[in-house]
Amino acid sequence: MKQIESHQCHGGELQVWEHASTSLSCDMRFSIFLPPQVKDGVCPAVTFLSGLTCTHDNFTSKAGAYGVAAELGLIVIAPDTSPRGDDVPDDVDSYDFGKGAGFYINATQTPWAKHFQMEAYIVKELRSLIADNFPIDSERQGIMGHSMGGHGALTLFLKHPDLYQSVSAFSPIVAPSQVPWGQKAFNGYLGDDEIEWTKHDACHLVESSQKKNIEILIDQGLGDNFLREQLKPELFEDACAKVEQKLNLRLQDGYDHSYFFIQSFIGDHLRHHAQNILK
Amino acid sequence: MKQIESHQCHGGELQVWEHASTSLSCDMRFSIFLPPQVKDGVCPAVTFLSGLTCTHDNFTSKAGAYGVAAELGLIVIAPDTSPRGDDVPDDVDSYDFGKGAGFYINATQTPWAKHFQMEAYIVKELRSLIADNFPIDSERQGIMGHSMGGHGALTLFLKHPDLYQSVSAFSPIVAPSQVPWGQKAFNGYLGDDEIEWTKHDACHLVESSQKKNIEILIDQGLGDNFLREQLKPELFEDACAKVEQKLNLRLQDGYDHSYFFIQSFIGDHLRHHAQNILK
């Protein structure tokens, strides 16, 4: 593991690391913010999963998260969105499939399966790597994300009830089996058996969730171009209502899909995580 | 004038505009954040001048300024750092001269003089354009900047005592006549008469300042790679002491020259401006 960057930030430290990933068979980068409280011992952590076309850097540079994280004593981890490198297959004409579009699932189809194992990477490999190398309280972790990464946060939270104590999302893809972005990705990575898709769809997973007492926080901008075709938060609202999953879905007037939206509410999300992780 | 972007942000609105600049003879872009308070009338403003290699976008995306600006009711303007476009001469091998490196002065030398009139652009043209088109209280304005833009903020504040009620800087070039970045730029844009250079050097300008009662706020990271060769804040400290100019020079342990440094203290700077502008 090699340190690529290190910056003092809000009294803590923002670091970028590169490591050889065994689950993805390529080199990967992630950023980690260590709040000033790590001087006194381990801290809880939140992982932010980014959206289509992003690397670790978009959230790291643009979300404005570290002031509040420093105040709350939260470690904040930002992984990349897909495997990387010349050996990794890609669909160069698509921004929504291949590199930059790993969808936080384990691909089963050729040629994707060899590298596109983003679920294994996030919940096993990166988690262990960070537990072994940073002053983290591994039993106290939350997960959040944006758009494709909101899908990632919701599904990984629901699939791995032992790993995360809190979850939130900005403009998440809540029903990938029912919208073009998700259908294209699932068809490519998982094949055309739609039953298989439901195992990675938050609207389906919430039915079998063991986490109904933990409130899910979602912010969705009403000025978001992708709202009606790709995001459809009402489907998740219905799914949660059906099984009495606690949900705080906040529809934010005028906000779009950008990091200007994320920076406006990231403080609320970090406070939501701190409250749930520490309770 | 054409709107390029518009995003709801922290209850206000971040806009990016493009306009044909007469002083620079090219098209220019700038960003402007309008806080929620513009609904109730005009608001005071702060202009942020960026450093070498930057456009309006670096500050806009990375500084995390708009949450505090919304709280304080401040408009925040981020101009570009030089003229742009295929017609504008450049020194393609230099990151510190030509495009991205206008130094906020009016060039007198061929071939630069035709386009590199950044002082006129900031203090006259852009100022008028914004006064005419946005809900701004033009009599209440501050100026701040980073590195080359810190030089810009300090010198424009000292040269134009009627235009700005407050000033602050992050890691500014305070003595361009005495450091490589400034010497290269001044030699290229102004010629080799070093007497001419002193008219654009904060350490010289502070001597004739009419603003001695307004405290200048400067944050300088002690982990900044450029500290000893290019920035030399001690020269400005000495110059201010000599003429009893109020200065709050904060040396920040461990911080570097990046936007992670700026985002850590931008809130303090905006509060400094609000206090001085509104008093």
pLDDT at residue B225, as a whole number: 97
Q: Does the pLDDT value for residue A209 go beyond 90?
A: no
Cβ neighbours of A125 (radius 10 Å): 17
Cβ neighbours of B95 (radius 10 Å): 12
Average pLDDT over residues B188-202: 97
Tens-place pLDDT, residues A183-196: 999 999 999 999 99
Q: What predicted TM-score, i.e. pTM, was given to this entire model?
A: 0.97
Contact A8 B267 (CB under 8 A): no
Task: State how far the Cα of B246 lies from the Cα of B213, in Å rounded to an integer.
Answer: 6
Q: Does the pLDDT value for residue A77 go beyond 90?
A: yes
Nearest Cα residue in chain B from A257: B7
pLDDT at residue A113, as a whole number: 98
Please, which pLDDT band fits residue A279 given cuts at 50, 70 and 90? confident
Known active-site residue B147? yes
Please, which pLDDT band fits residue A136 given cuts at 50, 70 and 90? very high
Task: State how far the Cα of A3 lies from the Cα of B211, in Å rounded to an integer.
Answer: 45
Q: Judge whether A64 is closer than 8 Å to chain B, CB to CB.
A: yes
Q: Judge whether B9 is closer than 8 Å to chain A, CB to CB.
A: yes
Task: State how far the Cα of A92 lies from the Cα of A104, in Å rounded to an integer.
Answer: 19
Beta bridge partners of A32: A15, A77
Helix (H), strand (E) at residue A84: none
3-state SS of A206-245?
Answer: HHHCCCCCCCEEEEEECCCCCHHHHHCHHHHHHHHHHHCC
Chain B interface, mutation test: which of A5, A58, A61, most B Cβ atoms within 10 Å? A61
Under a CB-based contact definition with an 8 Å cutoff, are residues B216 and B170 in contact?
no
Known active-site residue A146? no
Q: Does the pLDDT value for residue B63 go beyond 90?
A: yes
Please, which pLDDT band fits residue B209 given cuts at 50, 70 and 90? confident
Average pLDDT over residues A89-100: 95
Tokens (6 digits) for A120: 């294994």
Under a CB-based contact definition with an 8 Å cutoff, are residues A50 and A149 in contact?
yes
Contact B8 A263 (CB under 8 A): no
ipTM for the whole complex: 0.95
pLDDT at residue B160, as a whole number: 96
pLDDT at residue B278, as a whole number: 81
Nearest Cα residue in chain A from B60: A62
Known active-site residue B269? no
Tens-place pLDDT, residues A211-244: 888 999 999 999 999 999 999 999 999 999 999 9
Q: Does the pLDDT value for residue B184 go beyond 80?
A: yes
Contact B62 A62 (CB under 8 A): yes
Strands (E), chain A: 2-9, 12-21, 26-34, 43-49, 75-79, 136-146, 166-170, 216-221, 247-252
Q: What percent of chain A has pLDDT over 90?
A: 97
Under a CB-based contact definition with an 8 Å cutoff, are residues B47 and B79 in contact?
yes
Q: Does the pLDDT value for residue A90 go beyond 80?
A: yes
3-state SS of chain B?
Answer: CEEEEEEEECCEEEEEEEEEECCCCEEEEEEEEECHHHHHCCEEEEEEECCCCCCHHHHHHHCCCHHHHHHHCCEEEEECCCCCCCCCCCCCCCCCCECCECCCCECCCCCCCCCCEHHHHHHHHHHHHHHHHCCEEEEEEEEEEECHHHHHHHHHHHHCCCCCCEEEEECCCCCHHHCHHHHHHHHHHHCCCHHHHHCCCHHHHHHHCCCCCCCEEEEEECCCCCHHHHHCHHHHHHHHHHHCCCEEEEEECCCCCCHHHHHHHHHHHHHHHHHHHHC
Tens-place pLDDT, residues B145-154: 999 999 999 9
Nearest Cα residue in chain A from B64: A64
Q: What percent of chain B has pLDDT over 90?
A: 97
Contacts of A8 in chain B (CB under 8 A): 221, 223, 252-256, 260-261, 264
pLDDT at residue A212, as a whole number: 82
3-state SS of B85-98?
Answer: CCCCCCCCCCCCCE
Backbone angles phi, psi at A233, to 5 degrees: -60, -20
Tens-place pLDDT, residues A7-65: 999 999 999 999 999 999 999 999 999 999 999 999 999 999 999 999 999 999 999 99
The answer for B 66-125 residues in CB contact with A (under 8 A) is 66-67
Q: Does the pLDDT value for residue B279 go beyond 80?
A: no
DSSP character string of A120-142: HIIIIIIHHHHHHHS-EEEEEEE
pLDDT at residue A210, as a whole number: 84
